[in-house]
Amino acid sequence: MTAAACARFLSETHRVTLVESDAIGTIGVGEATIPQIALFNQALGIDEAAFLAATGGTYKLGIAFDGWGAPGERYIHAFGTIGRDAGLIAFHHYWLRGRALGLADDLWSYALNARAAYGGRMRPGVNPAQGNGPALPRAYHFDAGRYAAFLRSYAEARGVTRTEGRIEHVERDGATGDIAALRLEGDRSLTGSLFIDCSGLRGLLIGEAMGSGYHDWSRWLPCNRALAVPCENAGPPIPYTRAIARAAGWQWRIPLQHRIGNGIVYCDAHLADERAADILLAHLDGEAQADPRPIRFTTGRRERFWVGNCVAIGLSGGFLEPLESTSIHLIQSGISRLLKLLPGTGSHPALAAEFDRQTIYEYEAILDFLILHYHANRRPEPFWQEVATMAIPDKLAARVALFRARGEIVREHDELFTEPGWLQLMIGQGIMPEAWHPLADAITPGDLKDFMASLAGIVARDVAAMPAHADLLARLPKAA
Ligand SMILES: Cc1cc2nc3c(=O)[nH]c(=O)nc-3n(C[C@H](O)[C@H](O)[C@H](O)COP(=O)(O)OP(=O)(O)OC[C@H]3O[C@@H](n4cnc5c(N)ncnc54)[C@H](O)[C@@H]3O)c2cc1C
């Protein structure tokens, strides 16, 4: 992604070299995304249909969470809006009152993406002939290996030089401390002015060479291992990711055109590796296509993301578990931030400080959203009891208190998660406000009932008229 974006935007001014090692390979997971990926692809001029065809991709309308609040419960974090705001206040205040009066349905009856997801429907664009509504807010599921290959061709076609081989040593300038060169196996050396560390969890340049430390967040997100395994499809792919709570973690299901990506994320203090593998393999929709592949991680972030002439993008900068599919987004927003703050020659501590400030803000906002998935639970297992009773960051505690008191949600600056995202998370995990905004009392119960019924009807009719997700996929061009 980084090389492709540099190829797209820097080819007039910079020479870009990409170093990869086939012997090391990539982490090979990371197949569910959030809607911002469409912006990245558009910026690179990548056509959606061609992208889906090349990567075995499917549409994603949200993430369904099974058993997170309590066993047997289910909710979805659907992209897009819910209901319709009226007057000065958000829709959910009317919904809260309607629910208290027995006049409103389940929150997700008013969410187009949620209904379309569960109904296996999707609308990728406006079709004026059918008089339908706008395209649904969507992300994608895709085969990570195919996306990497697709972007590699893209980057090479635009002048990026790819160098195959293992980096064995990082040479630093004795005077400035900057990276002077990378020494590769076979006695090769690469010099450069800016080094972007995309080396994955190891953080070869930013951590090992430049000494940027690591803030460990496992006190809030204690899962530290994963097992990943693909399996065969057992029916048409669904247009949403599934995150299913298990005894000491959770399992993902990511539907692609040609297979399902599965994995279990767990905490080794509560679940042995063999038992995790048994749970994973016992809950596949189709035949496993490989043995489960183990991955270890520590949730957290680098102290600094930009040190001297080295910038961390991707897992070298930190790890947040894939509960809300945010890592690929963090890569893409990191790239866009770097391009905006791109240094010229010489040292740029002010640019580096600003890059760090924005990146840390983004990481911490996502961190709070993830913590709440764990913390707001009523599950009986020791792992879940532990996270339910842990101390949470003050800012998150204040956010929950504000919502509980009066259903208020405040989204600061350009935080990643929107008000409907927080709303679905909190209601879905059983945090119910004690009151609603007083202006929701301004309409009569009869009008409130009509308002709710008309919105639910619009959603239901709109979804019924949408094409089936499977039919849309069947109509995609075939990949070369
Ligand atoms: C269990 C799990 C599930 C995930 N699921 C999701 C998800 O659903 N959605 C999402 O957005 N993200 C997800 N992620 C995160 C996602 O996988 C990563 O953000 C993404 O794959 C990018 O990884 P990366 O490029 O930083 O590192 P890697 O994929 O590890 O790539 C590192 C690269 O550096 C090269 N390299 C490393 N060392 C050397 C060396 N010494 N010499 C030469 N080359 C070297 C490697 O060859 C490789 O090309 C998940 C992560 C995990 C662990």
CA of 315 to the centre of ligand 1 (A): 6
Tokens of 380: 């009986």
Q: Which long-range contacts (CB under 8 A, 24 or more apart) does 179-185 make?
A: 179/205, 179/209, 179/210, 179/308, 179/309, 179/310, 182/19, 184/19
* Helix, strand or coil, per DSSP, at residue 89: strand
Q: Cα separation of 254 and 243, whole Å?
A: 9
pTM, entire model: 0.96
- Band (pLDDT 50/70/90 cuts) for residue 478 is confident
Cβ proximity of 321 and 363 under 8 Å: no
Q: Give, in degrees to the nearest 5, the angle at Cα 221 between 66 and 297.
A: 105
Closest CA to 161 of 272, 53, 11: 11
**Four-point Cα dihedral 66, 122, 468, 125, nearest 10:** -170
Cα(27) to ligand 1 centroid in Å equals 4
- Atom 52 of ligand 1: nearest residue by CA position: 29
Residue 52: predicted pLDDT? 96
**Cβ-Cβ contacts under 8 Å for 230 (sequence gap 6 or more):** 259, 260, 261, 262, 288, 289, 290
CA distances for 6 relative to 1, 160, 304, angstroms: 9, 8, 22
Task: Show the ligand 1 pocket: residues with CB < 6 angstroms.
Answer: 19-21, 24-27, 29-33, 144, 166-167, 198-200, 204, 226, 228, 263, 295, 297, 314-316, 322, 325-328, 331
The confidence score (pLDDT) of residue 129 equals 63
Using CA positions, which residue lies closest to atom 22 of ligand 1? 314
Enumerate residues 6+ apart whose C-beta is below 8 A from 433.
Answer: 96, 403, 404, 405, 406, 407
Residue 480 confidence class, pLDDT cut points 50, 70, 90 = low
Q: How far is the CA of 159 from the centre of ligand 1 (A)?
A: 23
pLDDT tens per residue across span 206-257: 999 999 999 999 999 999 999 999 999 999 999 999 999 999 999 999 999 9
pLDDT at 131 over 90: no
What is the 144 CA–ligand 1 centroid distance (Å)? Answer: 10
Ligand 1 atom closest to Cα of residue 29: 17
Residue minimizing CA distance to atom 34 of ligand 1: 199
Convert the pLDDT of each residue in 76-126 to its tens digit. 999 999 999 998 999 999 999 999 999 999 999 999 999 999 999 999 887
How many angstroms separate the Cα of 474 from the Cα of each of 257, 293, 458?
9, 31, 28
Percentage of the residues of the chain whose pLDDT score is greater than 70:
98
User: Across 35-87, where does the E strand assignment appear?
Assistant: 58-60, 62-66, 74-78
Of 19, 199, 316, best ligand 1 pocket probe by most atoms within 8 Å of the beta carbon? 199
**Strand 306-307's sheet: what is its strand order?**
195-197, 310-312, 306-307
Distance 180 CA to ligand 1 centre (A): 25
Residue of the nearest CA to atom 21 in ligand 1?
30
pLDDT digits (tens, 9 = 90+) for 324-353: 999 999 999 999 999 999 998 777 899 999
Of all atoms in ligand 1, which is nearest to the CA of residue 1? Answer: 25
pLDDT band at 385 (very low <50, low <70, confident <90, very high): very high
Q: Report the catalytic residues.
A: 60
d(CA 336, CA 6): 10
| Ligand 1 atom with the shortest distance to the CA of 261 | 8
Q: What pLDDT is stored for residue 156 in this prediction? A: 97
Going from the Cα of 49 to the center of ligand 1, the distance in angstroms, rounded, reads 25
What's the pLDDT tens digit per position in 12-38? 999 999 999 999 999 989 899 999 999
Instruction: Give the model's confidence band at 70: pLDDT under 50 very low, under 70 low, under 90 confident, else very high.
Output: very high
Mean pLDDT of 174-201: 97
pLDDT above 70 (res 479): no
Query: Residue 108 contacts by C-beta under 8 Å, 6 or more apart in sequence?
Result: 75, 76, 78, 82, 114, 115, 424
**What mean pLDDT is reported for the chain?**
96
- Contact by Cβ (8 Å): 157, 8: no
**Closest CA to ligand 1's atom 27:** 200
Read off the pLDDT of each residue in 65-79 and give the average, rounded to a whole number. 98
For 439-473, what is each residue's pLDDT tens digit? 999 999 999 999 999 999 999 999 999 999 999 99
- DSSP strands (E only) in 120-268: 139-141, 161-164, 167-172, 179-184, 188-191, 195-197, 214-216, 225-231, 241-246, 249-255, 260-266
Ligand 1, residue 313: give the atom nearest the CA.
26
pLDDT digits (tens, 9 = 90+) for 416-437: 999 999 999 999 999 999 999 9
Atom number in ligand 1 closest to CA 325: 9
Q: Band of the pLDDT at 413, cuts 50, 70, 90?
A: confident
Strand partners, 312: 197
Describe the chain by its helix, strand, coil percentages, rounded to 5. Answer: 40, 20, 40
pLDDT value, residue 419: 97
Of 110, 49, 38, nearest in space to 80 by CA: 110
**Atom 33 of ligand 1 has which residue's CA nearest to it?**
199
What pLDDT band is residue 186 in, cutting at 50, 70 and 90? very high
> In this model, does residue 364 exceed pLDDT 90?
yes
Task: Please list the alpha-helical segments (H only) found in 228-295.
Answer: 273-282
Ligand 1 pocket mutation, candidates 27, 204, 224, criterion most atoms within 8 A of CB:
27
Is 431 strand, coil or helix? Answer: coil
Residue 249 and residue 382: Cα distance in Å, rounded?
11
Confidence at residue 387, expressed as pLDDT on a 0 to 100 scale: 98
Q: Which of 189, 198, 202 to mutate to test the pocket of ligand 1 (most atoms within 8 A of CB)?
A: 198
Beta bridge partners of 310: 195, 307
Which residue out of 327, 333, 362, 370 has the highest number of ligand 1 atoms within 8 Å of its CB and is therefore the one to mutate? 327
First to last CA, the chain: 21
**Which atom of ligand 1 lies at the shortest distance from residue 252's CA?**
8
| 174 CA to centre of ligand 1 in angstroms | 31
Tokens of 167: 């980096």
**pLDDT (mean) for 171-194:** 96
Q: How far apart are CA 147 and CA 158, in angstroms?
A: 17
Residue closest via CA to ligand 1's atom 16 equals 30
Quickly state the pLDDT bin for 174 (edges 50, 70, 90).
very high
Enter the DSSP assignment of 246.
E
Q: What is the C-alpha to C-alpha distance for residues 202 and 315, in angstroms, rounded to an integer? A: 8
Rounded CA-CA distance 424/119 in Å is 19
From ligand 1's centre to the CA of 55, what distance in Å? 17
Q: Which amino acid is at 458?
A: I
Looking at residue 345, its pLDDT comes to 79
SS3 annotation, 364-399 = HHHHHHHHHHHHCCCCCCHHHHHHHHCCCCHHHHHH
